[in-house]
Chains A and B, each alone.
Chain A
Amino acid sequence: MTPAGISQSDLKLALKAFGDAIGADNVFASEADQLSYSDHFSPDESRHMPSAAVAPATAEEVRAIVRLANKYKIPLWPISRGKNFGYGGAAPVLKGSVVLDLTRMKKIEVDVESGTVLVEPGVGFFDLYDYLRANDIPLWLSVPGNAWGSVAGNALDRGVGYTPYGDHASRICGLEVVLPDGDIVRTGMGAMAGAPTWQLYKPGFGPSWDTMFCQSNFGIVTKLGMWLMHEPESVLGYDFEFDKIDDLGWAIDTLMPLRRDGIIQQSPSFGNWLRSAAVMTTRSQWTDDPGPLKESVISAIRKKFNIGWWSVQVRLYGPLDVTEATLKVLNNAFNGKPVMAMKPARWVKGDAPEGSPFSGVPITFPLANANWYGGRGGHTGYSPVLPTRGDLAMDQFRRTYALYQKYGFDYHASFAMGERSLTNVNQLLFDRDDADMMQRLDKFFRELVVDAKAKGYGEYRTHIEYMDVVAETYDFNDHALRRLNERVKDALDPNGVIAPGKSGIWPANRRGERS
């Protein structure tokens, strides 16, 4: 297998040259290797199968590979750890690309006093967590729901976590990037050799480029600076349960001003009952009926886990004097409103470790939900961004819920509150060995995108299969943003060697591949 337009002999020459540059034992080109770097949630892994993978260990080795890729016109697909399974894992958009696996790049540099870290792409959340604990560093991570992935990769893909530092891309401060021609650049203050402020001041002098390398294919990030939170004196809050479907609307409107004004600094995320059930149990434990879950089953799930139709966890961070005062504000906001339950949460320095993702503890068990339907399960995300308004959230819920019913999927969603926006993250769970289900899933996803677009809502992130589908919805002035992206792409990457098709951005020599 080769990328379209590349001969088998050229690919072979390129792989040989890659091996000469970084060691032949870091070039993986067997059939087993091709499979291992494919999308293992896909019903047809051949659709996005790479022809090989190469694993450099340093930025200099990355530069060498990139120069050779230009020489042989080989498209590379950079991954940090390749664990973003719901969005395609390690697999490239363009079949036959060579995966540039940066897993072996694992350097960590922490500035404890400033609360910053400089990580290479192979550093996972568990790696960084272990490093902080081993060195007794009082800094907390912000971890995503499934924390086996890369700290840098997650931030560059705009992943989110649960602490006040949960908007990971916004905490990036300074990058080192290998450009598509093999040049290497440091952004922000890192543009000055030896500057001690690289991880401290984001803009630098003149234009700032950090966000240009998020969800893009304009370069390969080999180092990423990020701010970390100093351990606070306390974490207080509530786990709220809401009994009725319609409670979602007023509950969002209640929290929204507190979130907008920074009273609540993390992102509360409303989720429905399936979030518990899909992790803790499998569907067959509840029902043998393949149709949409009946009200009686939903009631049984809620009873078993003692949860509402919706749940949300709110946490406040800081000195105890501050969090206790803020907790009163939160209490007042819900005073007199029909909350089903408010379970207090309280951690104060000196207590046993808080021990949860709210204090940056990495976890992987949430992805046990991939086993909900049994078989070899999987999931993908559908995540449109809405204004933070309860009525619009309810409308979104009703339309989306109806589509889940239409296509025969169990509703699994959350509404995560940003400072000015609401991201409706839907986990579409499936059994990839159920061919009928996988066909329905594809139609379901495409209709969801169309449904959101009709309201002017776009996805913030998507699976490799749907990058063109989502990019197509960003259509102001006949897709002016895509034209801009591709002008930049062509200027930086005339041979189209870095991640063709990422986020719907295709280089000139492969624009015909757009789906």
Chain B
Amino acid sequence: MKGRWIVERAMLGIASSALVFAGGAAMAQNKTAPAGTAVTDAFSGAMQDRSARSPDAALFVEKCAMCHRQLGMGTIILARRMDPAVAMLEKREDLTIDFVTQAARTGIGNMPRIQRGEVSDAQMKKIAHYLAKGNK
């Protein structure tokens, strides 16, 4: 076995062992039942933050967050390729409008191409602007 288990650190506060079912996997979190029995809630904590502080951020949440916030497929795979602390796109400081647009439209790695029916050119511009944080 080789490699680091960086993906676990990308799970952002969700602890320990993995549970899996029906083509999926889960993180487990231990907590104590009223009776004092150790209880495991499969997937507990899989619910990602869906809040947004601006209309552009809301667009990002609607179109991208499912993969690019906590426990998203994109976040998990990006955490294998870079510092897990910046695996979520909103944590990045190095994104540019052109890079975001191109990655989304042409696909990159495991990411599929995002079609114009799903995200219009005008919406893409707003999302890219939001992620680029003023970078050109």
Which A residues are closer than 8 A to B by beta carbons?
Answer: 25-26, 28, 32-33, 35-37, 40, 53, 55, 81-82, 85, 89-90, 99, 101, 103-104, 124, 126-127, 129-130, 133, 145-148, 160, 162, 239, 269, 271, 275-276, 278-282, 284-287, 300, 305-307, 311-313, 343-347, 353-358, 361-371, 376-377, 414, 416, 425, 427
Contact = CB atoms under 8 A, between A and B. Distances in A.
A365 B80 contact: no
Contact of B77 (A85, A271, A368): A368
B135 interface: no
Nearest to B61: A130
Given A148-B67, A275-B24, A367-B73, A361 B43 contact: yes
B105 interface: yes
B89 interface: no
B22 A343 contact: no
B66 A364 contact: yes
B72 A145 contact: no
A414 B50 contact: no
B63 to A, nearest CB: 10
Contacts of B59: none
A386 B104 CA distance: 40
Contacts of A36: 105, 113-116
Given A127-B62, A275-B23, A285-B3, A306 B17 contact: yes
Contact of A271 (B20, B28, B44, B105): B20
Contacts of A286: 1
Contacts of A371: 77, 80, 110
9 contacts: A25-B120, A28-B117, A101-B118, A307-B17, A344-B37, A365-B46, A368-B73, A376-B109, A416-B22
Contacts of B41: 345-347, 354-356
Nearest to B68: A364
Contacts of B116: 28, 33, 36, 53, 55
Nearest to B105: A32
Contacts of A355: 41, 43-47
Given A279-B18, A347-B41, A145 B107 contact: no
Contacts of B109: 376
B100 interface: no
The 7 A-B pairs with the shortest beta carbon distances in the complex, nearest first, are: A356-B43, A366-B24, A279-B25, A275-B20, A101-B117, A285-B3, A145-B24
A53 B117 contact: yes
Contact of B21 (A162, A343, A344, A370): A162
Contacts of A305: 17-18
A312 B26 CA distance: 12
B42 A358 contact: yes
B19 A346 contact: no
A358 B61 CA distance: 23
Instruction: Summarize A's interface: helix, strand, loop or mixed.
Output: mixed
B112 interface: yes
B41 to A, nearest CB: 5
A414 B47 contact: no
A319 to B, nearest CB: 16
A276 B44 contact: no
Contacts of B33: 344, 346
B71 interface: yes
A279 B17 contact: no
Nearest to A279: B25
A129 B77 CA distance: 24
Contacts of A85: 112
Contacts of A81: 118
A284 B2 CA distance: 7
A377 B61 CA distance: 25
Contacts of B20: 271, 275-276, 279, 307, 311
Contacts of A285: 1-3, 5
Contacts of B107: 40
A346 B29 CA distance: 12
